[in-house]
Amino acid sequence: MRNETFRPDLLKGKNAFIAGGSSGINLGIAKKLGVLGAQVFLMSRSQDKIDAAIQDLREFGISAAGCAADVRDYAAVESAVQRCVEVFGPLDIVVSGAAGNFVAPAAELSSNGFKTVVDIDLNGTFHVCRAAYAHVRKPQACMLNISAVQAFMPVPGQAHVCAAKAGVEALTKVLAIEWGPQGIRVNAIAPGPVEGTEGMARLTPTAKHKARFLQAIPLRRYAELDEIADTAAFLCSPAGSNFNGEVLVCDGGQSTLGGGGFAAAWSG
């Protein structure tokens, strides 16, 4: 029996780098990893958001630091990783969750609009994984990419996001194969709609939109931040030590209905 599984100090001594960690789902993950004992380093574009998030984490007794960088800028991501290593030491956990989203039908989406989301979500994920690779403690390091059900469920108005997140999942699996032999696990979480997030504020701007979305979810509710954070903690902890190249879908059963339910929520 493995005594280290599910202890309250499960992640004590672990260092986590979290791209896009200054708000929403990724901040929820940072908090969860932190309360389980990890030191957490946040990276996003806004230093003000990072400072506020660090303050929030410290109120939970979490050792936290961070710096601003845009995931689209590989050199900036490398510098941020380097800074994290200087502050905390080698990385044990790397979460890549920076993303951009807006609703735009493909016929109205500019080339730059499409490119912008692919640059942030997909290229940004490669940048984070690639920059962190040289600094992760091997074996037993873990990378976790934040995908979305749009990766495998076609959603009108989300061509850019669907394409980018499908790429994130393919990238996750290739890295898992290439880096697995060195003891680096690479997994992803694909959340469905999550309550109280910027993403859902953009996808379901009105009560009518939200009511339709709920009909496309068998549990008839959005996920709580904590449910995604618990999934992340599982994958990043010894409890998830044999998961590699896996995408855990946390969506209340939404994707079991197929893309039709999601699409219907948008039509009419």
Return the active site residues: 147, 165
> Contact 168/126 with Cβ under 8 angstroms?
no
- Tell me which stretch binds ligand NAP (CB under 6 A): 1-9, 15-23, 86-94, 253-261: 15-23
Cα angle 207, 202, 216 (rounded to 5 degrees) comes to 55
Q: Does 113 bind ligand COA (CB under 6 A)?
A: yes
Q: Which of 231, 198, 226 is nearest to 49 (CA)?
A: 198
Q: Which of 51, 56, 73, 198 binds ligand COA (CB under 6 A)?
A: 198
Q: Does 34 bind ligand NAP (CB under 6 A)?
A: no
Structure tokens at 231: 């999934």
CB of 44 to ligand COA, least distance (A): 9
Q: Considering beta carbons, is residue 104 or 163 the nearer one to ligand COA? A: 104
Q: Does 191 bind ligand COA (CB under 6 A)?
A: no
Q: Which of 40, 162, 194, 217 binds ligand NAP (CB under 6 A)?
A: 194
CA distance 47 to 33: 21
- Tell me which stretch binds ligand COA (CB under 6 A): 8-16, 85-93, 169-177, 195-203: 195-203
Strand partners, 267: none
User: Cα torsion for 140, 146, 147, 149, to the nearest 10°?
Assistant: 110
Q: Which of 156, 180, 183, 199 binds ligand COA (CB under 6 A)?
A: 199
Cα angle 13, 14, 19 (rounded to 5 degrees) comes to 150
Q: Which of 22, 101, 125, 187 binds ligand COA (CB under 6 A)?
A: 101
CA distance 50 to 163: 28
- Tell me which stretch binds ligand NAP (CB under 6 A): 45-53, 56-64, 84-92, 206-214: 45-53
Nearest residue to the partner ligand NAP, using Cβ: 24
CB of 172 to ligand NAP, least distance (A): 13
Length of the chain: 268
Query: In the range 126-155, which residues lie near ligand NAP by CB under 6 A?
Result: 146, 148
Beta strand spans in the chain (E): 15-19, 39-44, 64-68, 93-96, 141-146, 184-191, 247-250
User: Which one of ligand COA, ligand NAP, none is in contact with 110 (Cβ closer than 5 to 8 A by kind)?
Assistant: ligand COA
Indicate the helix (H) or strand (E) that contains 129: helix 124-133
Task: Provide the binding-site residues for ligand COA, judged by CB under 6 A.
Answer: 99-102, 104, 110, 112-113, 116-117, 198-199, 202
